[in-house]
Amino acid sequence: MEAPEAAPPRPAHAASDLRDLYERMLRIRQFETKLDVLYRQGRVRGPAHLGLGQEAIAVGVAAALGPGDASLGTYRGHAHALARGASEEAVLRELLGRVGGVCGGKGGSMHITSVEHGYYGSYAIVGGHIPTAVGMAWASRIRGDGGVTACFFGDGTTNIGAFHEAVNLAAVWKLPAVFVCENNHYMEYTPIGDVIPVERPAADRAPAYGLEPLVVDGNDVAAVREVARAAVERARRGDGPTLVEATTYRLTGHSVADGGAYRHPDEVSAARARDPLVRLATDLARSGEMTVDQSEALVARVKGEMDALAAHVLAEPAPDAAAAWTGMWSDGSSTWRN
């Protein structure tokens, strides 16, 4: 089989541009770090899945999308909603089950949605959202609105039948879609390499659908953005979909309740050395664009903002119990069924 092609060399970027990408990733990192604390305090009900270490993919792809484009993610979707511009406060209200949450405080961590920002939901069914993304791309084609749909999923999803059926159909119809595999090397608790006969779960399968076997360093936000821009431009031109495999690593367990004991400490330590925030901060320091003191001050400021935000949201009320009956059916209630 043809070897996966590496992403094109990363072009030079303005320092202010890279600092902006760094701060976007940092805000997501501190948001989820605070969420981890809140979960352990019993403030977050239900499961929560963090994307610590994977921020460069969400931010890089979002930077390539326009206001008329759509994106869909998995249950590990906080970063994607925030990267598309969803309010930190509205997302945190949702996670804490408060009035004013993006889903009215009823969806919780696994169902974050912000349509007004182009984020059409986080989906708990593995691979279940990929056909939906294809349908949305088809709708853009029919409407002729020039919209592109980006769909994020994990490495384990590439073993789901819906993945293969959806990517195949998108390729046959040349739909304006960008499929992004966030390969963090683990399917919940199982290494992806233990259950597939190829090295790259997405890229090595791409040629079967006539697509380029494209791999990008998912911990390099600028490289992700460049690859995403090319994929979005291709889709918008009418040249069909792109399947991108972004290699990364989740720094925590599968969920907040998972300590990750099945991973060797040396493996995790090596991954932390490739942390996308550490890498970019180091590059900015070496170029003289952001000193270590400036970086530390920025981290402290953002952390303080997240602490203050959490205190504010925790003081807000929970939704009225009657709200459980709204947003259920086309008329806004369940009364027609009774």
Residue 337 confidence (pLDDT): 53
Per-residue pLDDT tens for 310-338?
999 999 999 888 888 777 766 555 555 55
Beta strand segments in the chain, E: 5-6, 70-74, 119-123, 149-154, 177-183, 186-187, 190-191, 214-217, 242-247
The answer to whether 93 touches 103, Cβ cutoff 8 Å, is no
Per-residue pLDDT tens for 6-54?
444 444 556 579 999 999 999 999 999 999 999 999 999 889 999 999 9
Domains plus CATH for the chain? 14-255+266-314 (3.40.50.970)
Entry pTM: 0.92
336 vs 165, 187, 324, 331, CA distance in Å?
A: 37, 42, 15, 8
Per-residue pLDDT tens for 203-232?
999 999 999 999 999 999 999 999 999 999
Position 200 pLDDT exceeds 60 = yes
Per-residue pLDDT tens for 126-185?
999 999 999 999 999 999 999 999 999 999 999 999 999 999 999 999 999 999 999 999
